[in-house]
Amino acid sequence: MKLTEKQKRFCDEYIKLGNAKEAAINAGYSKKTAKSMGAENLTKPDLKKYIDERMERIASERIMSAQEILERLSLIANAEIKETVVIANAEGYSEVEKPPDFKVQIQAMKELLKRYPDNDRLLEQTLRKLTAEADIAEFKAAMIQSATDKSTEEKLDELLGKISEVIDDK
């Protein structure tokens, strides 16, 4: 059995509203009979099937495919996608777009690598190096912020330079 246009409108309105009476009114049924017609329409197998199929299609359109997930992870790992962050300033706040930080990029890379069990050693080494560099950058920023005199900062730079040399040699 084919649905009438009025029945299709009822179904579409019911999906939007979740209320059979309001859906019936919006679909063109009279206000006097809307409550009973709405309830009756929900018992009709063809209308129930149409509603179920539409709901399934809507649900599948909202769920990301595996390909979409991999593409998004790749955009994050390559810092080709930006996020909007709110920063407080003298005027109140402002919104700034920034690329993902190292930790977020590294996490995206790890997630991508999980999907490729035969990943090569070079990728793993690169990931370890990026992780170490991110840790060093964080440590350096924290130490510089807490440093009170120039000599401490110079000593810190020297120490971090030595650590970086050791990492580069590996």
pLDDT of residue 72 exceeding 70: yes
Q: How far apart are CA 70 and CA 66, in angstroms?
A: 6
CATH number at 37 reads 1.10.10.1400
Domains: count for the chain: 2
C-alpha radius of gyration, the chain, whole number: 29
Cβ atoms of residues 151 and 123 within 8 Å: no
Q: What is the pLDDT of residues 116-157, one digit of tens each?
A: 656 666 667 777 888 888 888 888 777 767 655 556 667 777
pLDDT in tens, 15-29: 888 899 999 999 999
Establish if 14 belongs to a structural domain.
yes
- Answer whether residue 89 is part of any domain: no
What is the residue whose two structure tokens read 């509603």? 51
Distance CA 128, CA 122 (A): 10
Residue 80 lies in a domain: no
- pTM flag (> 0.85): no
Give the domain range for residue 133.
Answer: 66-73+101-169
